[in-house]
Amino acid sequence: MVHFTAEEKAAVTSLWSKMNVEETGGEALGRLLVVYPWTQRFFDSFGNLSSPSAILGNPKVKAHGKKVLTSFGDAIKNMDNLKITFAKLSELHCDKLHVDPENFKLLGNVLVCVLAHHFGKEFTPQVQAAYQKVVAGVANALAHKYH
């Protein structure tokens, strides 16, 4: 069970409140598909993924990224209950989507890079540490119901 200190929670929620979830979601998913191209295997129906600019401009990537990151926002509101919060989604990713849990770690790391890009110096080592803890917690929660 992951435990977050008051400082970690404050750092996470403060940065999250300044973020544009819609744009950041699209960027994070797009970046995942560019940096780790094999992750495109889940998105055959998304149309043109032939180049970095095609991927980043793809409306389906943006829409799906927004959906994923909005869901991530639930994690931010429930940092002490990640496994319960993501139980249903975990089952979905295992039974219907067949996503290797390794991919949750990749997306989490890419999201951290996107935050670093946006927030620059404000994304201190301490803030990074808090966010890496959150994304690891979410990744574990999403993998928890796999069987």
Partner 1 sequence: MLSAQERAQIAQVWDLIAGHEAQFGAELLLRLFTVYPSTKVYFPHLSSCHDATQLLSHGQRMLAAVGAAVQHMDHLRAALSPLADLHALVLRVDPANFPLLIQCFHVVLASHLQDEFTVEMQAAWDKFLTGVAVVLTEKYR
**Contact set with partner 1 (CB under 8 A):** 30-31, 34-35, 52, 56, 109, 112-114, 116-121, 123, 125-126, 128-129, 132
Minimum distance, C-beta of residue 100 to partner 1, in the bound complex (Å):
16
Minimum distance, C-beta of residue 115 to partner 1, in the bound complex (Å):
8
Task: Please spell the DSSP secondary structure of the chain, one letter per residue.
Answer: -----HHHHHHHHHHHHTS-HHHHHHHHHHHHHHHSGGGGGG-GGG---SSHHHHHH-HHHHHHHHHHHHHHHHHHHTTT-HHHHTHHHHHHHHHTS---THHHHHHHHHHHHHHHHHHGGGS-HHHHHHHHHHHHHHHHHHHTT--
Closest to partner 1 by CB, 82 or 135:
135
Minimum distance, C-beta of residue 55 to partner 1, in the bound complex (Å):
8
Closest to partner 1 by CB, 55 or 141:
55
Minimum distance, C-beta of residue 135 to partner 1, in the bound complex (Å):
11
Closest to partner 1 by CB, 30 or 137:
30
Closest to partner 1 by CB, 17 or 120:
120
